[in-house]
């Protein structure tokens, strides 16, 4: 029996989910699929320049697991760049580090750490104490995308 999947913590869902070579219609291209946690690994290591141990801690995985995720992402990116393939970002085994909520009464927005979301979603706006609150679109909405992700929409609805 295989080991259960270890969820990878990511800071946010990428706002851009497709890249393709210029001048070629998307339907004519092969696609490479990068998962959300692979994009997070690239962001932490290559964009922020963190050491692998620090990246692994931020994603709450072991250093060897982080290395495998990063290696997979880099291989997919190289394939897409060198072979003229489109890149699609979707899916994976991840949880968001934060959720953003908005008050329906006064429009106030605030972030709730994932660890607090495990206990339950906020019951009232911290500014006006209204109970008309909801997650903001785009911030936590990636939890409903194809692929596996932990504690999605149902965590804040119940």
Residue 34 backbone phi and psi in degrees, to 5:
-100, 135
* Domain edges within the chain: 8-94, 97-144
| Cβ neighbours of 30 (radius 10 Å) | 10
**61-75 pLDDT, tens per residue?**
999 999 999 999 999
Q: Is the pLDDT of residue 7 over 90?
A: no
DSSP state of 6: P
- Residue 9 or 64, more confident: 64
> Which segment, 26-40, 102-116, 144-158, is predicted with the most confidence on average?
26-40
Residues 6+ apart with CB under 8 A from 39: 10, 14, 73, 89
Cβ atoms < 10 Å from Cβ of 138:
11
With H, G, I as helix, E, B as strand and everything else as coil, classify residue 10: strand
What number does CATH give the domain 8-94? 1.10.10
For the stretch 89-148, pLDDT in tens is 999 988 887 788 899 999 999 888 866 766 777 889 999 999 999 887 654 433 433 344
pLDDT at 15: 86
Beta strands in 11-132 (DSSP E): 18-19, 31-34, 86-89, 93-96, 98-103, 109-113
Tokens representing 132 are 């008309």
CA 78 remoteness from chain centre: 21
**Into which CATH architecture does domain 97-144 fall?**
Single Sheet (2.20)
């Amino acid at each position: 029996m295989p080991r259960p999947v270890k969820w990878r913590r990511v800071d946010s869902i990428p706002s851009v989910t497709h890249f393709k070579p210029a001048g070629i219609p998307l339907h004519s291209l092969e696609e490479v699929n990068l998962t959300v946690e692979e994009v997070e690994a690239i962001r932490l290591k290559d964009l922020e320049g963190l050491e692998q141990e620090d990246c692994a801690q931020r994603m709450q995985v072991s250093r060897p697991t982080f290395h495998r995720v990063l290696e997979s992402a880099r291989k997919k990116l190289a394939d897409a760049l060198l072979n003229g393939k489109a890149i699609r970002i979707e899916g994976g085994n991840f949880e968001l580090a934060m959720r953003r909520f908005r008050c329906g009464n006064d429009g106030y927005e605030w972030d709730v750490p994932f660890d607090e979301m495990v206990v339950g979603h906020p019951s009232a706006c911290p500014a006006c104490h209204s109970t008309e609150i909801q997650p903001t679109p785009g911030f936590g909405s990636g939890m409903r995308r194809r692929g596996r992700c932990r504690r999605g929409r149902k965590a804040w609805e119940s």
